[in-house]
Amino acid sequence: MLLNGHETFGWGTIILHWMIALLILGLIVLGFIMVRPDIDPELQFSLYQWHKSFGMTVLALSVIRVIWWLTNRHPASVKGLSPLEARSASAVHLLLLAMTIAVPLAGWAVASTSTLGIPTLVFNRVLVPHLPLRPSAEAEAFWTTTHALLAYGMGGLVVLHMVAAFHHEFIRRDGVLSRMIRGSLGKR
């Protein structure tokens, strides 16, 4: 089933969730590698271009994910959650969704304010115009810091999200993780 059900996630949600999750994981790893001081400059340039390409991909998929989220039903929370747990889960999901847009936008702002003026060519094919921001060293430093802080914040939310999913799956055994993998409630 493509669409979400009353208690289950549909394949549309599941595919978008895991594509974005894997891309974000790759972007985090790539982000740490590309800023190493001992890296070959030519390789570093290439890694920055890949980082921008995958970041733009996350942005595009996240916009689709937001539209999907706004136009699709939301499965009910699993039984047994307290009202605080249900509200906390919703808040973390909304923050993660917002971060999947905010982090790439901040990265796009870094590229747009750079005084180097290097174009963003997604996968060396599609030219993405810079945002209408004035290039300057100060603006680039601001957006670089903002991008990094947002990325670290998103990383913290991802860890919290994963810990909660594993807790529900392996300790509470209520099938939370199963329904994001198989699309079924998966109660044991």
DSSP class per residue in 18-82: HHHHHHHHHHHHHHHHHT-TTS-HHHHHHHHHHHHHHHHHHHHHHHHHHHHHHHS--PPPPTT--
- Residue 186: the pLDDT is 45
Residue 187 predicted with pLDDT over 70: no
CATH fold of the domain at 11-181 = Fumarate Reductase Cytochrome B subunit (1.20.950)
Confidence tier at 188 by pLDDT (50, 70, 90) = very low
Say which range, 28-32, 45-49, 61-65, 184-188, has the weakest mean pLDDT.
184-188
Percent of the chain with pLDDT over 70: 97
Query: pLDDT for 111-134, tens place per residue?
Result: 999 999 999 999 999 999 999 999
Nearest-angstrom CA–CA distance, 135 and 74: 42
- What element of type H or E holds 90? helix 83-113
Q: Region of 166 please: left (phi>0), alpha (psi -120 to 50) or beta.
A: alpha
Which residues neighbour 64 within 8 Å (Cβ) at sequence distance 6 or greater?
Answer: 16
Residue 79 predicted with pLDDT over 90: no
| Residue 102, CA atoms < 13 Å, CB-side half-sphere | 15
The three-class DSSP label of residue 161 is helix
Query: pLDDT for 17-40, tens place per residue?
Result: 999 999 999 999 999 999 999 999
**Mean pLDDT, all residues of the chain:** 94
Confidence tier at 91 by pLDDT (50, 70, 90) = very high
Mean pLDDT for 124-150 is 98
Residue 135 predicted with pLDDT over 60: yes
Mean pLDDT for 85-90 is 92
Q: How many CB atoms lie within 10 A of CB 95?
A: 16
- Residue 167: the pLDDT is 94
Q: Which of 54, 48, 130, 157 is nearest to 62 (CA)?
A: 54
Residue 183 predicted with pLDDT over 90: no
Domain ranges of the chain: 11-181
- Residue 30: the pLDDT is 96
